[in-house]
Amino acid sequence: MERLWGLLQRAQRLSPGPSQTIYKRVEGTQQGPLEEEEEDREEGTEPPAHFFPMELRGPEPLGSRPARQNPRLWAAAGRRATPYLVLTALLIFTGAFLLGYVVFRGSCQACGDDVMVVSEDMNHELSPDSHQGTLYWSDLQAMFLRHLGEGRLEDTIRQTSLRERVAGSAGMAALVQDLRAVLLSQKLDHVWMDTHYVGLQFPDPAHPNALHWVDAAGKHGEQLPLEDPDVYCPYSATGNATGELVYAHYGRPEDLQDLRARGVEPKGRLLLVRLGVINFAQKVASAQDFGAQGVLIYPDPADFSQGPHKLSLSSHRAVYGHVHLGTGDPYTPGFPSFNQTQFPPVQSSGLPSIPAQPISADTASLLLRKLEGPVAPQEWQGHLPVSPYRLGPGPGLHLGVNNHRASTPISNIFGCIEGRSEPDHYVVIGAQRDAWGPGAARSAVGTAILLELVRTFSSMVSNGFRPRRSLLFISWDGGDFGSVGSMEWLEGYLSVLHLKAVVYVSLDNAVLGDDKFHAKTSPLLISLIENILKQVDSPNRSGQTLFEQVVFNNHSWEAEVIRPLPMDSSAYSFTAFAGVPAVEFSFMEDGPMYPFLHTKDDTYENLHRVLRGRLPAVAQAVAQLAGQLLIRLSHDHLLPLDFGRYGDVVLRHIGSLNEFSGDLKARGLTLQWVYSARGDYIRAAEKLRKEIYSSEESDERLTRMYNVRIMRVEFYFLSQYVSAADSPFRHIFLGRGDHTLGALVDHVRLLRSSGPGALGEEAQVARGLGFQESRFRRQLALLTWTLQGAANALSGDVWNIDNNF
């Protein structure tokens, strides 16, 4: 400004006349006129130091002024000063803009790509009960790690694995009361339980399941040993099955198709299948679809760790697993199993109609030795003392399954820390409590981590932390029967959970090794998981973070870590049934799977040996990962869910359909509707991201509105055009049924189905096996309008939506 005054003075000195006009404030009323005063100043005289508000008056009558002004000189001075005035204004504006941008950038959690990233300096809370004042993200992180370090994870895992935890048992009832007492001793706002009366299936000790050879006349011969007589398949069909034996690898649909292509018909036979790749329920469902009479499932040593220093499953052990192709109580599908409630007399469509039984590797060896027929492909060969494996058929077998159904009470236990700003929005974390055997890896680890997180967050609350959203801790019952406890709770509160549950974090199967790390998750959480992995230390590589560990051998961390949610996880029901994004973390062995899962050998000692003494460190890493995820989800001003990710998911799926565009076009069909709906979703996601970027973080009403839209994105992908009772897993990407994108892709592939002995197109259509145009059009409509509905919901208000394709 001094330079500007100097320029003005220079302009005055260049003026041939010393005369200038100034405005002088007239004392009196604020609205009074200003007197105009002519002053003659000597050259170099300083101008007035202050200017006052002025009122411009009309022209004076001629002759009223004692002196005359020189407008040309003032115009010249103005012209010289103008560039500097403009430059100065620009500098002030630029400085103010940059300062405001830096401040806003720090406080805005939406500044980045599609995921909202919290600032370590600006994200904080003000706790009315705290004497420490502001808690920043770095403070919360340090507080969490400090309190977590005081726990006793290893002792809790050991003690839990020693207790009887079969659903409905007396031991489980005692454990429920003990865990409830633990939660009541913590600084939680609410602790409660709910009880469901569910139909569970158990073996009948008086009439054990049996396996016999059958001679040519159909008479029972020698009984084959079932070395673990109390190991069974819950929800197997009961009764008898007789037929020749056939070896069918893992029992996948492609395995059975391959079997048929090699001249071995699975229909009317008993199938011998290996454990692994797909779950028990999927194996039995595939066998039933191909007309098999029954299924025997065994663990092949080839699927487990080998070597002198590796622990392996005993050859006389069988493996437990339920065969309900679904979750929850299969005798009350779509409805919660509360006591004294009435249900329609229906059963889940996922219950099999053929019997199934687990057998040991030793019993499987006896069966394989009797098989004749073609030699199995090289990739089907295993490590049993039978060489080579043959496909069969072999001698006749008789399988008798006598399991019985019992109405059984199961109890879920809940603890809650209420949020301060959005208490009606819940971040949920849960772990299965029950186990068929010792269940150290299956549920003791998850239960121990859950209790440790409850204790840690309770301590943080005592030290001033209060989350923005509520934290809900849950111990589930009935998990070994197909996530029964969690599914019944979801069915009971389905109408409200999609409005209130933000995310579900599962602690089941968290530690099955320590070499690799997998996150089975909804796409909405991928970016947040990446961020958290960079802040958690690797449990077995000193000086590295978990992120650095997973990218050591594969630079694509997503390809190394991210997996889809499996149906046998409690997290699956939250996403595919209730529309709540979910994640389940697992540390795994590099190579074959943990051998003792779902067996009597899943003990603390075996788990400790498999991890070579690193069980406490790995469990601590899972607790750190889950805890920091909870802090971000419950504490961030704006929910850190990457709602733009689903655009990539759709693109990846429909990319596989492009090769069939010519075949569809030849039939007068097109996938353009799906492409258009996907484009609308991407545009809606980008529009929301820009709205958030330019919004004021301090506007609580606006922030809550954005959070509601973000947290319901997963729910938008549940098809509203199919019944939840008939198709419970309505999610178009993760669900099951004709409404899903996967079903559409599989159907379109039938356009090119051909092969030796394949049926003609008319016969295929008549049997429902070939491509059907009417079915395709219906699938396309279901998928398109679910995707379009998601785009519309993300767009916000109806007046901002354009549904013109």
Indicate which CATH number applies to the domain containing 274.
3.50.30.30
Q: Which has the minimum average pLDDT: 580-589, 607-616, 721-730?
A: 721-730
pLDDT classification of 130: cutoffs 50, 70, 90: very low
- Using DSSP's 3-state secondary structure scheme, residue 406 falls into strand
Number of H helices, E strands in the chain: 25, 19
516-521 vs 469-476, strand pairing mode: unpaired
Exposure string (b/e) for 720-731, b if CB count within 10 Å is 16 or more?
Answer: eebebeebbbbb
pLDDT of residue 278: 94
Is 414 found in the same domain as 350?
no
**Token reading at 665:** 């076009």
Q: Are 471 and 577 members of one domain?
A: yes
Q: Please name the helix (run of DSSP H) or strand (run of DSSP E) that holds residue 239, with its range, or none.
A: strand 239-247
Residues 615 and 564 in one domain: yes
> What span, in angstroms and rounded, lies between the C-alpha atoms of 584 and 568?
11
Please check whether residue 631 is in contact with residue 527, taking contact to mean a CB–CB distance below 8 angstroms: no
- Residue 341: what pLDDT? 62
pLDDT confidence band for 40 (50 / 70 / 90)? very low
Distance set, CA 402 to CA 142, 149, 235, 773 (Å): 56, 49, 11, 44
Cβ-contact 338, 492 below 8 angstroms: yes
Rounded mean pLDDT, 561-583 = 93
Does residue 2 fall inside a structural domain? no
Residues 554 and 576 in one domain: yes
Alpha-carbon distance 443 to 463, whole Å?
Answer: 30
Q: Where are the alpha helices (DSSP H) in 370-516?
A: 445-462, 484-492, 494-500
Question: Is residue 82 a part of any domain in this protein?
Answer: no
**Cis peptide bond upstream of 203, omega within 30:** no
Q: Decide which of 582, 606, 635 is a domain's last residue.
A: 635
User: Two tokens at 718?
Assistant: 């549940």
- pLDDT confidence of residue 227: 80
pLDDT attached to residue 77: 58
The DSSP element (H or E) to which 220 belongs, if any, is strand 220-224
Asked if residue 416 and residue 368 are part of one domain, the reply reads no
Mean pLDDT of all residues in 250-266: 95
3-state helix, strand, coil in the chain (%, to 5): 40, 15, 45
Res 390: pLDDT: 95
Q: Return the pLDDT at 44.
A: 41
Contact predicate 25/34, CB 8 Å: yes
Higher per-residue confidence, 663 vs 181: 181
Residues 193, 286, single domain; the answer is no
C-alpha span between 43 and 14 (Å, rounded): 10
Q: pLDDT grade, residue 216 (50/70/90)?
A: confident
Task: Name every residue whose Cβ is closer than 8 Å to that of residue 58 and which is 6 or more positions away in sequence.
Answer: none
What average pLDDT does this structure show over 200-219? Answer: 91
> End of a domain among 602, 635, 668?
635
- Which carries the bigger pLDDT value, residue 802 or residue 712? 712
CATH of the domain at 735: 1.20.930.40
4 inside domain: no
Can you tell me the distance from the alpha carbon of 558 to that of 543, in angstroms, rounded to the nearest whole number?
22
CA distance 326 to 577: 11
The one-letter amino acid at 135: L
Residue type, position 675, single letter:
Y
Domain final residue pick, 589, 607, 635: 635
What values do phi and psi take at 515, rounded to 5? -85, -40
> In the structure encoding, which two tokens stand for residue 421, read together?
């700003």
β-pair type (220-224, 210-214) = antiparallel
Tokens 């859950």, residue? 450
C-alpha–C-alpha distance, residues 722 and 436, integer Å? 35
Do 482 and 535 lie in a common domain? Answer: yes
Question: Which of 38-47, 166-175, 373-382, 638-647 is the least confident region?
Answer: 38-47
Q: What is the CATH number of the domain that holds 599?
A: 3.40.630.10
H-run or E-run covering 410 = strand 404-417
Give CA–CA dist 61/170, Å, rounded: 110
Nearest partner of 528 among 645, 427, 640, judged by Cα: 640
Domains of the chain: total = 3
Asked if the structure places residue 27 within a domain, the reply is: no
What are the angstrom distances between the C-alpha of 524 and each of 430, 527, 539, 555, 687?
Answer: 19, 7, 26, 21, 17
Tokens of 690: 């820009």
CA distances to 42, 404, 510, 792 from 600, in Å: 108, 21, 19, 51
Do 294 and 356 form a contact (C-beta atoms < 8 A)?
yes
* CA–CA gap between residue 794 and residue 685 (Å, rounded): 7
Q: In the prediction, which pLDDT does 70 show? A: 55
In this prediction, residue 490 carries a pLDDT of 94
Same domain for 759 and 669, yes or no, is: yes
Res 328: pLDDT: 92
User: Is 406 buried (19+), middle (13-18) or exposed (0-12) by CB count in 10 A?
Assistant: exposed
| Entry pTM | 0.82
For 669, what's the count of Cα atoms within 13 Å in the CB-facing half-sphere?
23
Across 264-283, average pLDDT: 95
* SS3 labels along 321-383: CCCCCCCCCCCCCCCCCCCCCCCCCCCCCCCCCCCEEECCHHHHHHHHHCCCCCECCHHHCCC
Of 632, 622, 568, 570, nearest to 427 by C-alpha is 632
Q: What is the mean pLDDT of residues 320-344?
A: 83
Whether the CB-CB separation of 318 and 228 falls below 8 Å is answered with yes
Residue 221 sits at φ, ψ, to 5 deg, of -110, -140
**Residue 184 host element (H or E):** helix 170-184
**Judgement on whether residues 448 and 305 belong to the same structural domain of the protein:** no
Query: Domain check: are 716 and 744 in the same one?
Result: yes
Rounded Cα gap, residues 376 and 373, in angstroms: 9
Same domain assignment for residues 448 and 328: no
* pLDDT tens digit sequence for 461-509: 998 899 999 999 999 999 999 999 999 999 999 888 888 999 999 999 9
Inside any domain, residue 25: no
Could you tell me if 282 and 193 lie in one domain? Answer: no
- The answer on pLDDT for 338 being more than 50 is yes
CA atoms within 13 A on the CB side of 321: 27
Which of 119-128, 207-216, 389-398 bottoms out in mean pLDDT, i.e. has the lowest? Answer: 119-128
User: Which ranges of 570-644 does DSSP label H, i.e. alpha helix?
Assistant: 570-576, 604-610, 615-635
User: Which one, of 642, 497, 475, lies nearest residue 575 by Cα?
Assistant: 497
In a domain, 411, yes or no: yes
Residue 57 lies in a domain: no
* 438 pLDDT above the threshold of 50: yes
Give, for 190, the enclosing helix (H) or strand (E): strand 190-202
Residue 774: both structure tokens together: 């009417």
Half-sphere exposure of 258 (CA within 13 A, CB side): 16
pLDDT, position 101: 57
- pLDDT at position 10 is 53
Give residue 538's domain range: 143-198+407-635
Residue 278 domain-assigned?
yes
- Phi, psi dihedral angles at 351 (to 5 degrees): -75, 130
In the numeric block, the tokens 């370590």 are attached to 120
